[in-house]
């Protein structure tokens, strides 16, 4: 499952960060690294962007970028 499909209020753990070149490097630099727990806080009314919480801060991410982040299928409790 990818991060863009995770429901609001659900936690999961990042499994892999896909993408090539500058996009992948930017995602990794923002702290979106494997084994990091993420929580979907909000999604904009039109569905894009989404706000996630990780490593003690909130991050707003476009759904297009969130599709490159693979998370565990089940929620983390």
Q: Which residue, among 15, 3, 9, has the nearest Cα to 49 in the 3D structure? A: 3
Three-state DSSP class for residue 1:
coil
- Structural domain including 64 reads 3-71
Instruction: Give CA–CA dist 52/54, Å, rounded.
Output: 7
Per-residue pLDDT tens over the stretch 46-61? 888 999 999 999 999 9
Asked if residue 32 is part of any domain, the answer here is yes
| pLDDT for res 74 | 58
Number of domains making up the chain: 1
Average pLDDT of the segment spanning 36-54 = 93
Asked if residue 50 is part of any domain, the answer here is yes
CB 40 within 8 A of CB 10: yes
Q: Tokens representing 43?
A: 């999604």
- Residue 50 maps to which CATH number? 2.30.30.90
Whole-prediction pTM value? 0.84
Asked if residue 77 is part of any domain, the answer here is no
Asked if residue 76 is part of any domain, the answer here is no
| pLDDT for res 58 | 95
């Amino acid at each position: 499952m990818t991060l863009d499909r995770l429901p609001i209020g659900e936690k999961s753990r990042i499994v892999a960060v896909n993408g090539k070149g500058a996009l992948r490097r930017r995602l990794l630099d923002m702290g979106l690294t494997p084994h990091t727990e993420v929580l979907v806080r909000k999604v904009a009314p039109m569905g894009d962007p989404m706000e996630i919480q990780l490593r003690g801060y909130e991050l707003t991410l476009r759904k297009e970028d969130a599709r490159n982040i693979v998370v565990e299928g089940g929620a983390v409790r």
